[in-house]
Amino acid sequence: MNSTGNRPPSLAVSIGGLTLKNPVMPASGTFGYGEEYAPFADLNRLGAVVTKGISLLPRAGNPPPRIMETPAGMLNAVGLQNVGVRAFVAEKLPYLRQHDVPVIVNIFGEAVDEYAAVAEILSRAGGVHALEVNISCPNVKKGGIAFGARPESAAEVTAAVRGNTDLPVIVKLTPNVTDIVEIALAVESAGAHALSLINTLLGMSIDVERRVPHLQNITGGLSGPAVRPVAVRMVWQVAGRVKVPVIGVGGIVDSASALEFLIAGARAVQVGTGQFVNPRMTLDVIEGIEAYLERHGMKDVQDLIGSLQCTSAR
Amino acid sequence: MNSTGNRPPSLAVSIGGLTLKNPVMPASGTFGYGEEYAPFADLNRLGAVVTKGISLLPRAGNPPPRIMETPAGMLNAVGLQNVGVRAFVAEKLPYLRQHDVPVIVNIFGEAVDEYAAVAEILSRAGGVHALEVNISCPNVKKGGIAFGARPESAAEVTAAVRGNTDLPVIVKLTPNVTDIVEIALAVESAGAHALSLINTLLGMSIDVERRVPHLQNITGGLSGPAVRPVAVRMVWQVAGRVKVPVIGVGGIVDSASALEFLIAGARAVQVGTGQFVNPRMTLDVIEGIEAYLERHGMKDVQDLIGSLQCTSAR
Amino acid sequence: MLSNRETAPGHFHMVLGLPVPIADPVPGQFVMVRMPDRLDPLLARPLGIYGFSRQAGEARLELLYRVAGKGTALLSGLSTGRVLQVLGPLGRGFRIVPELRTVILVAGGIGIAPLTFLAEHYRGLPAVVEGREIVCYVGARCSEALVGLERMEALCSRVVVTTDDGTCGACGIVTEPLGLDLPSFRPGATVIYACGPGAMLRCLADMLRESPVPCQVSVEERMACGLGACLGCAVAIRSGENALSYVRVCKEGPVFDIHELDWK
Amino acid sequence: MLSNRETAPGHFHMVLGLPVPIADPVPGQFVMVRMPDRLDPLLARPLGIYGFSRQAGEARLELLYRVAGKGTALLSGLSTGRVLQVLGPLGRGFRIVPELRTVILVAGGIGIAPLTFLAEHYRGLPAVVEGREIVCYVGARCSEALVGLERMEALCSRVVVTTDDGTCGACGIVTEPLGLDLPSFRPGATVIYACGPGAMLRCLADMLRESPVPCQVSVEERMACGLGACLGCAVAIRSGENALSYVRVCKEGPVFDIHELDWK
Ligand SMILES: Cc1cc2nc3c(=O)[nH]c(=O)nc-3n(C[C@H](O)[C@H](O)[C@H](O)COP(=O)(O)OP(=O)(O)OC[C@H]3O[C@@H](n4cnc5c(N)ncnc54)[C@H](O)[C@@H]3O)c2cc1C
Ligand SMILES: Cc1cc2nc3c(=O)[nH]c(=O)nc-3n(C[C@H](O)[C@H](O)[C@H](O)COP(=O)(O)OP(=O)(O)OC[C@H]3O[C@@H](n4cnc5c(N)ncnc54)[C@H](O)[C@@H]3O)c2cc1C
Ligand SMILES: Cc1cc2nc3c(=O)[nH]c(=O)nc-3n(C[C@H](O)[C@H](O)[C@H](O)COP(=O)(O)O)c2cc1C
Ligand SMILES: Cc1cc2nc3c(=O)[nH]c(=O)nc-3n(C[C@H](O)[C@H](O)[C@H](O)COP(=O)(O)O)c2cc1C
Ligand code: FES
Ligand code: FES
């Protein structure tokens, strides 16, 4: 019961058959495997947990420096360092299983069968509730162009993962494309249960005194509030065209920025870089959304999702 | 003569046969037709002047609100409001002709022949030194997809403009594409003398209290320091692949950010949103580049252009 | 910055000392204010001029502002001695008609700021007409949002106050008492100046549609350059039948003839 | 913030009062410091702990920092009373070996900060061994960049100073006098702790390659989360022949055995 004597608004949403107690989760790669943020944000209070991207074999990642701050954003070139799917199942998953929170495992590969293989192992592991398929990584067989850059390869990966799992499949789109709607529709047709967007924008920054790139990898992925307008635009474009739920990601640093995504049509949101700004950010966002619903007399977050009025901006 | 008793470094660069006394100019659409900033930055000191985009017929532009601030950036949906090419020649050009500065006129159209027609009129007007062709605008004949989004249509516009003018043709690329290098190569093959990039990233932001877009046009173009990492990355990618000079634009708010572009391979830079931050910004950038060259013992800005060392970031 | 004082909840009075020469501002003009060395907020904010004076060679600029969002909230937290970036005076201010006997001011909320400077200007004019009267109609949400009333009272012959909730003056909107008095204004000898929220100005435009009394309004729009270069601050004006046309608030405005603007 | 004083050009000593409970930090641990309500700079900056005390229930944290760029420049401009966001203590600090007689500290520039806290910690330990000596080798660019020398001198048996330009102490780099003294250190009774710029640590790693004296170093890398979640702060460690492996400075570090790291 809240101060007005009414029941608190319902925050529950459903993504590909999975019910989340609220629409807020961390973004992959910014939350490790769940343990690091536990002292700040009780995992049980989150809508879901999303892990760092997992590949078939362990990967060392890129040499440092791996990150650089940019105006209202940051570049990262971690290089998808991870322990590999077997170590993940053996060493990281048991910790997550102890909690009462859906576990979404982010996966990637350099070839279609690698994606399929990781999906299969995770589906049998127990304690995994959904897969989030990162298609922003380079397709080594096709000259390094990202799977997510072309509708055909994006659909191919989606279908391969779907074929190897009974878990809900969320496909995470890259924003570095001419037409995000085209990719989204291809992935939806290939059987994705949900879409998450956006991954990072490809960027670069230079140490002008030494005339070298700030990142050893030269380019990196841009994230943070700087990219939020691009992310909100893409979520709005895609949510208006697909039937499956969309998860909004990109530059959320407070509940107002999360609300932008929900109003634009996202059914849930992920907080990435925002957690570095404040390790309690996911909880602040949950509380902020609840307060907003109460203030606006809304009983259910569903009333908010996609509620943008576009006829007049005044 | 500077303090060290040596001659000041040379800042002159050449773009498509046009010699600029320094590599710094305002970006189209942020400098009006030249008169507004004259009290702050003497036009004669600029490398060139770049005007607001001009179309064949006058255009009223979009209804307000047209702009919104975002984290370290801004969205605009001015809608290419302009006086039309005839009024430009009659009313705006005479003022610019009084100055000793190259005049680059930004042009656009909704059809290929509109581009060609504007180019022809400007070529005969006198006092125009180069054309900058904005291919980010929607091709009304092809369902509103931007000319710059596909290599074929980008090349088509370039060839049409080249065929109708003797002036140097600079083609301004949109960053909202999967593969900027592909577009750059197509435009180069079609005869562009130079490329400028980037135009704005398509974005959107929402007034969450009222659940309406901040811009009446719903989406708008994102500019400012927020987008600089994307712009630097694209300039670096393109400069490494084309033979024609590249002009770097996007998020320059001090001389250090301009230096990033030059080091990445741009032969000149444009300052857009940065001028709103400080109306003297173009001059600050020129002075900052000169001071940098002196501090690093470089005699010519040419030594700086493309000087990025990528073997090691440490 | 010389001072930055909260005069009513969420409303601040700021005094700036300007180290560089500045032209004498006309009432209704504005300045673009920015916190240097910050990229967030990125853009300067337009603020009307509340007062201006020269003392021993140094110019002093007064601003009166309401905390509306991020930029003004950060401004309000600054303390004396901080250096701000100020660009101005900008735009076309109110047209002064010294020979008129009756000057009517209509202020909604923080709209009182430029009108106070205007009233001061009229008071300082050489006496072209005898017995000029300045009457101000001030409206606000509640008594707490009534700012700058004392200063205005000292400058006017009469100040009529309304608040939406009736906590001060008459209960209702400011255009009500004005509407009642409107028939008594002498067309050839009266001018109305107004500044306030869009709803108030729209209501005023409606009310004055048939009135022969001229009215100048100061309007607001988001701005980037403040100089007329970016076309960001457009507002629609009435032109031919179906033709749409936009003018720049920062250059052709912020003061317009109320009938020139398109209030739809 | 309780104070923020410039102790040498470009070097600041900051004292923070912490309103919320905090665990006792181990020397070598760090905190992530951020200015709230700013998106630029966006990320918190890691700063080593220079001192820590509890007074009447309130914890006080001391930091010693050098203005290196935007974030530290903004920090240096803050005045008493400002509220900062502080996360910590974080990371694995120096391993304390109470039974050793000789503690050698090697500080380059601002690297003196965590080593001062370490020296204080050793001084406060119950006397497990008699006559423990703490010797500190301090290097800096010039005398003006020598910070925190007095405090260090009060804690050590001996302080050896070098400056690159010879404006204070011996002229040269700090590893030179250390190298000369190295043969005199008793392997089983000595530990070296070092913190400073990469070049200094690399030189030290070279020098100690064959030495039996253990050495712990605190290294720096850019950080985002400070908690081990983002993998942004990786440094390479020596593992198998060609195998590359990275550890997190914020979690496995910032203190490492000098021979564990890959200095190429
Ligand atoms: C010519 C002119 C003179 C003005 N004079 C004054 C004055 O004397 N005192 C005063 O308090 N305010 C004045 N304003 C309004 C003031 O500019 C805005 O309140 C301010 O820019 C809001 O900035 P913010 O960062 O605090 O809010 P934001 O977070 O940017 O926005 C908060 C709200 O204010 C609206 N807003 C933002 N910018 C403007 C703008 N330029 N015009 C209108 N609405 C805006 C936004 O749409 C939003 O709804 C004036 C505006 C103009 C155009
Ligand atoms: C564990 C740890 C403890 C530290 N303790 C202290 C301390 O006690 N006192 C102190 O003055 N400094 C300390 N530093 C370094 C301090 O974090 C950086 O100087 C600071 O982050 C620079 O931020 P800036 O915004 O001022 O500079 P920026 O503008 O971000 O960068 C300026 C320069 O500093 C480099 N830099 C940026 N961040 C780091 C970083 N995290 N580590 C190393 N170099 C960096 C950049 O590459 C650049 O060359 C520590 C760093 C670490 C990792
Ligand atoms: C350090 C870092 C590591 C990331 N790692 C992954 C990853 O492993 N898999 C993935 O799909 N996205 C990864 N991302 C992208 C984020 O999940 C998110 O899509 C992006 O950062 C935009 O959101 P934000 O602005 O809230 O950070 C990573 C982002 C960062 C900053
Ligand atoms: C208000 C505004 C209007 C613009 N109008 C044009 C235009 O008419 N033609 C064009 O090619 N680019 C236009 N641009 C894009 C800029 O020229 C520039 O490419 C972009 O803003 C990125 O640079 P910046 O970050 O320095 O602003 C406009 C940008 C802004 C902010
Ligand atoms: S604010 Fe740029 S034209 Fe008015
Ligand atoms: S800073 Fe994020 S893992 Fe170390």
Q: Are residues C168 and C185 in the same domain?
A: yes
Question: Per DSSP, what are the bridge partners of residue A54?
Answer: A107
- Write down the ipTM of this complex: 0.95
Q: Quick count: other Cβ atoms within 10 Å of Cβ B90?
A: 12
Picking from A139, A176, A218, A230 by the largest number of B CB atoms within 10 A of its own CB, the best residue to mutate is A230
Domain assignment present for residue B162? The answer is yes
Domain assignment present for residue D197? The answer is yes
Provide CB contacts within 8 A for C51, sequence distance 6+.
Answer: C60, C61, C62, C116, C117, C120
Domain span at D154: 102-220
Q: Which of A76, A273, A279 has its CB closest to that of D87?
A: A279
Q: Using the predicted structure, report yes or no on whether residue B113 has a pLDDT greater than 90.
A: yes
What is the reported pLDDT for C128?
A: 67
Q: For A121-136, what is the mean pLDDT?
A: 96
Q: Are the beta carbons of C33 and C63 closer than 8 angstroms? A: yes
* 3-state secondary structure at position A77: coil
* Banded pLDDT at A298 (limits 50, 70, 90): very high
H/E segment holding residue C31:
strand C30-34
| Pick from A39-53, A186-200, B195-209, D44-58: least confident | D44-58
Q: Pick the last residue of a domain from D52, D68, D90.
A: D90
Q: Pick the last residue of a domain from D90, D124, D142.
A: D90
What is the reported pLDDT for D242?
A: 63
Give the C-alpha separation, A16 to C132, whole Å.
Answer: 74
Query: In this complex, how many residue pairs, one in chain C and one in chain D, have their CB atoms less than 8 Å apart?
Result: 6
Domain assignment present for residue B90? The answer is yes
**B30 inside 8 A of chain C by CB:** yes
Picking from A204, A205, A308 by the largest number of B CB atoms within 10 A of its own CB, the best residue to mutate is A204
Average pLDDT score over chain D: 91
Per residue in A33-88, pLDDT (tens digit) is: 999 999 999 999 999 999 999 999 999 999 999 999 999 999 999 998 999 999 99
What is the reported pLDDT for C256?
A: 96
Give the C-alpha separation, A50 to A33, whole Å.
Answer: 8
DSSP structural state of residue B54: B
Per residue in C154-188, pLDDT (tens digit) is: 999 899 998 888 888 888 888 888 888 888 888 88
Q: Are the beta carbons of C48 and C30 closer than 8 angstroms? A: yes
Q: Using the predicted structure, report yes or no on whether residue A21 has a pLDDT greater than 80.
A: yes
Residue with tokens 């902020």: A288
Domain span at A181: 13-62+80-202+224-303
Output the domain CATH number for residue A128.
Answer: 3.20.20.70
**Percent of chain A at pLDDT above 90?**
92
What is the reported pLDDT for B37?
A: 94
Q: Which of A178, A201, A263 has its CB closest to that of B208?
A: A263
How many domains, in total, are found in chain C?
A: 3
Q: For A235-246, what is the mean pLDDT?
A: 98
Q: Using the predicted structure, report yes or no on whether residue D120 has a pLDDT greater than 60.
A: yes
Quick one: how far is CA C238 from the chain centroid?
22
Q: Are residues D112 and D178 in the same domain?
A: yes
* Banded pLDDT at A313 (limits 50, 70, 90): very low
Per residue in C21-35, pLDDT (tens digit) is: 888 999 999 999 999
Output the domain CATH number for residue D260.
Answer: 2.10.240.10
What is the reported pLDDT for A248?
A: 98
- Say how many CA atoms lie within 13 Å of D91 toward its Cβ: 31
Q: Are the beta carbons of A174 and A148 closer than 8 angstroms? A: yes
* Banded pLDDT at D1 (limits 50, 70, 90): confident
> Residue C62 corresponds to which amino acid?
E
- Residue B250's nearest CA partner among D71, C225, D42, A204 is A204
Q: Are residues D67 and D106 in the same domain?
A: no
Q: For C240-259, what is the mean pLDDT?
A: 88
Beta strands in B77-218 (DSSP E): 103-107, 130-134, 169-172, 194-197, 201-204, 206-207, 212-213
Compute the nearest-CA separation of B260 from chain D (Å). 17
Average pLDDT score over chain C: 91
Whether cis (ω within 30° of 0) applies to the bond prior to D177 is no
Domain assignment present for residue B308? The answer is no
What is the reported pLDDT for B99?
A: 96
Q: Are the beta carbons of A148 and B178 closer than 8 angstroms? A: no
Q: Are the beta carbons of C225 and B74 closer than 8 angstroms? A: no
Per residue in D164-180, pLDDT (tens digit) is: 888 888 888 888 888 88
Q: Using the predicted structure, report yes or no on whether residue D256 has a pLDDT greater than 70.
A: yes
Give the C-alpha separation, B153 to B143, whole Å.
Answer: 13
Per residue in A148-182, pLDDT (tens digit) is: 999 999 999 999 999 999 999 999 999 999 999 99
A159 vs C243: which has the higher pLDDT: A159
Give the C-alpha separation, C30 to C7, whole Å.
Answer: 21
Q: Are residues C200 and C226 in the same domain?
A: no
Q: Using the predicted structure, report yes or no on whether residue D65 has a pLDDT greater than 80.
A: yes
Domain assignment present for residue C97? The answer is no
Domain assignment present for residue B144? The answer is yes
Q: Are residues C201 and C233 in the same domain?
A: no
Per residue in B213-243, pLDDT (tens digit) is: 999 999 999 999 999 999 999 999 999 999 9
H/E segment holding residue D199:
helix D198-207
What is the reported pLDDT for A314?
A: 39
- Residue B105's nearest CA partner among B114, B92, B193 is B92
Mutate to test the pocket of ligand 2, among A67, A69, A70, A205 (most ligand atoms within 8 A of CB): A69
How many domains, in total, are found in chain B?
A: 1
Provide CB contacts within 8 A for B7, sequence distance 6+.
Answer: B1, B299
Torsions phi, psi for A63 (to 5 deg): -70, 155
Ligand nearest to the CA of A107: 3
Domain assignment present for residue D44? The answer is yes
Q: Are residues D134 and D149 in the same domain?
A: yes
Domain assignment present for residue A5? The answer is no
Average pLDDT score over chain B: 94
Q: Using the predicted structure, report yes or no on whether residue B313 has a pLDDT greater than 50.
A: no
* 3-state secondary structure at position B229: helix
* Banded pLDDT at A2 (limits 50, 70, 90): very low
R_g of chain C computed on alpha carbons: 18
Torsions phi, psi for B287 (to 5 deg): -65, -40
* Banded pLDDT at B175 (limits 50, 70, 90): very high
Question: Per DSSP, what are the bridge partners of residue C12?
Answer: C6, C65
Q: Are residues D195 and D211 in the same domain?
A: yes
* 3-state secondary structure at position C261: strand
Q: Using the predicted structure, report yes or no on whether residue B31 has a pLDDT greater than 60.
A: yes
Whether cis (ω within 30° of 0) applies to the bond prior to C89 is yes
Domain assignment present for residue C96? The answer is no
Contacts of A72 in chain C (CB under 8 A): 39-40
Catalytic residue among A43, A117, A128, A137: A137
Per residue in B262-285, pLDDT (tens digit) is: 999 999 999 999 999 999 999 999
* Banded pLDDT at B1 (limits 50, 70, 90): very low
Give the C-alpha separation, A16 to A19, whole Å.
Answer: 8
Helices in A164-300 by DSSP H: which ranges? Answer: 180-189, 228-239, 255-264, 274-277, 281-295
